[in-house]
Each structure stands twice: as structure tokens, then as C-alpha cells.
Structure 1
Amino acid sequence: MSAEPVFEWPLPPPGGFTAEDLDRIPDLPPHTELIDGSLVFVSPQKVFHTLAVDLLVQGLRRTAPKGLRVRREMSVLLGPRQRPEPDLLVVQADAETGPDQTAYLPDAVELVVEVVSPDSEERDRERKPQLYAKAGIRHFWRVEDSSGGKIALYVYELDPATRTYALTGIYHDRVKLTVPFEIDLDLTEIDQL
């Protein structure tokens, strides 16, 4: 009987990992993020998380104008020690460089969306929005399970003077917005997925 292979966790270099390291470290678990120079591994997703992302991807792809693309689970290069991976993002189509692309620059990102999970509450509610705002990403959405699989969508817009997000609305059943583009989504459709 052969022994199971043992995964060897990468040891951080002095000063922490860099954004470039994510593309070079072999055998990292899928969806590894870099926050403040530290690798962040995600735990398995719950059904609500998957359904919420699916609903928003479908809805945003339906409403996004020509020239924008909706992508899920792609990282954003915010700085040498910051490379988070939002659950989904809307990017400018001309920012795509080909099938081997692993990250986007913040000036190409129109919207980032985080679906909060129990293991990511603090990161998704506090640290990642701080990083996105500091990088100048104008629109941020946070999605929470309001009760029993129902969506609560928190919509934020960047205040350019303070480089922080201001809450512009909380939506439960339907979201209708004019920024970052015309959006009309029935959030109750999560029950049909």
C-alpha cells in the first residue's frame, strides 16, 4: 500500500508573498487569494453562495452593455501584496488579453461582487471593500443570505474624495439601477435555480 502524498504548504518569504507569486507557486488550491501578503484559502462553498453567484452572473450578462464582460472568480491585481478574487466582477472587454489571463487591473473593473460566507465574513465585509475602494473601483456589491436562502444585496458606490464606499441601497426582491449601467434583476429568481 502506498502512502498518500503530503501537501507541503508554501512558506512565506520575508515580507510576505507577492501578487506574482500566485502564478508561480505550484499546486495551490483553487481560488487562493493574496490579502496583505498572506495566502488565503477558501473553504467549500454552500449552496446559497453558488446560487447567488449564478443568479447575478446570468442577470448581469443579460443587462451588461457591449464592451463589458461579466467574469466569475478572477483575481484583481490591486498592488504588490494584494490580489483578491471577487466572486464576480464586471470588466471592460478590452482589458482581456487572452485565455491565459489570471488577473485584471483595477482600472478595467467596473463592479466587484462578494457573496459573504461564514468563513469570509470579515474579509468580505471589511478588508476587501477597503482594498477595492483604495484601488479606485467605483462599484461594490455585497450579497448576504438574509433568511433561508433569500438575497440581501448591499450596493455601494465609491466616494472619490475619501476613497471609501458609501451605501446607496439595500435590495431584497428586485434591484433596479442606472449605474454602473442599466440593471434590472429579480432577486427572487434564486428560488428557481
Structure 2
Amino acid sequence: MTAETAPPAWMREQITAAEYDSWSEEQCAGIEIVDGMVVVSPSASKRHNRLARILANALDEAAGPEWNADTDFDVRLQDVPLTNRRPDVVVYRADTLDISPTRPEHVLLVVEVVFPGPETTDRIVKVDRYAKAGIAFYWRVEQAATCVPLIYTYILDPATRSYRTGDMFTGIIKTTAPFPTEIDLGRL
């Protein structure tokens, strides 16, 4: 590998929380940090982004004044080695709006919309990391061949720090936990 083709140092070496925190928003866009290593996320499709936005808007409306729902920001799962994930949707305490980084204790629910490429990460790796971090609810949205999304919900068992399977929904989410919610994802 020549100097022209070698990846930059930040892609080959672990970075610290302090180093990452010094980066600009542009430098942090499109990446996650896993065990101190930069992981570049592939660009999402318009369908993926629309699903995430519909979910975030509906969850924000249903959550009430104590919770906010947003897309596209980091959740700091641990400082050493640094692990930042960027869930597709995050429901977090409203009183932490101006606190950065967002930490697991600020988060009630994370949602991942699965798309080609990082399926194993969304289905297996992230589930384990979010549970170990203590995030109470995890939803995974699969984009079925029929274009009607399948939604799998998971609820944290705090004693084992692992998720137990909740309900599965096709197209319409109608649940009471973590708060009453009805969302029609079939209207894409």
C-alpha cells in the first residue's frame, strides 16, 4: 500500500472521547465509533430516511412533554474504549436537550431501520450493546419485500441487561410501552 492509498490515521488507530469531541459535526457525520475505531456508515436510502422521519415525528408527538424523539445524532454508549452509535431514531429525556454527549441514561428508546449492508449489526450487535448500556426499549424495523415494514420490539430485562422479545407489528405499530403509540408505517 502506498502513501497515496493508505487510509488516514484516524481510520487505523483508536481515538479517544476527547479527540472525537474536538471534531466538527461534518467530520462526525456518517460515522460511528466502535471500541475506539471509526466505522463509516453507508448512505441510507430515501425509503430508510423517510421511515426514520415518520417514526421520529410520531414518537415525538406521542411521547408527551417529558420526552423528545429525533434522528441522526450520537449516543455515547461508553467512553473507554469510545463507543458512539447513531441510531436512526432516539427517544430521550426532554430535560437533556442541551446536554452533550447523549448518554444511555438519557435514552428511553432507540430504533434502527435495517437496510442492506449493516443488517447483522442492527439485528445482533447493536441489540446487545444497547441492552448492556441499559436502554429500556429497542425497536428494529425491517423493510420487507412487500414494502410493508415489519417492526420488532424489545424490552430490557434490567437484571440480565439483555432484551426480551416484545411484540411484532406489520405496517401499523400500536403499543402502550414505552408510552401509548399508534404509527402507520404502511403509508410510505
TM-score grouping bracket, smaller chain normalisation? 0.7 to 0.9
In structure 2, the partner of 1:144 is: 142
Residues 156, 180 of structure 1: alpha-carbon distance in 2 compared, 3 angstrom cutoff = same
* 1:62 to 2:64 alignment: no
Contact map agreement 2:67 2:91 (CA 8 A) in 1: yes
1:43-192 → structure 2 map (5 Å cutoff): 43-80=42-79, 81-97=82-98, 101=100, 103-190=101-188
For 1:25 and 1:61, how far apart are their aligned partners in 2?
A: 29
Residues 182, 126 of structure 1: alpha-carbon distance in 2 compared, 3 angstrom cutoff = same
For 2:33 and 2:171, how far apart are their aligned partners in 1?
A: 33
Q: CA deviation at 1:155?
A: 0.5
Residues 130, 97 of structure 1: alpha-carbon distance in 2 compared, 3 angstrom cutoff = same
SS at match of 1:150: coil
Contact map agreement 2:153 2:165 (CA 8 A) in 1: yes
Q: Which 4+ residue blocks in structure 1 deviate beyond 6 angstroms? A: none
In structure 2, the partner of 1:3 is: none
Paired positions, count: 181
Residues 116, 19 of structure 1: alpha-carbon distance in 2 compared, 3 angstrom cutoff = farther
Contact map agreement 1:19 1:77 (CA 8 A) in 2: no
Q: CA deviation at 1:13?
A: 7.5
SS at match of 1:54: helix
Q: TM-score, normalised by structure 2?
A: 0.87
Question: What RMSD, in angstroms, separates the aligned Cα atoms of the two structures?
Answer: 2.2
For 1:41 and 1:148, how far apart are their aligned partners in 2?
A: 29
- Percent identical: 31
For 1:10 and 1:45, how far apart are their aligned partners in 2?
A: 26
Residues 7, 145 of structure 1: alpha-carbon distance in 2 compared, 3 angstrom cutoff = same
More displaced, 25-34 or 81-90? 25-34
In structure 1, the partner of 2:19 is: 21
Q: CA deviation at 1:105?
A: 1.0
AA at the equivalent of 1:89: V
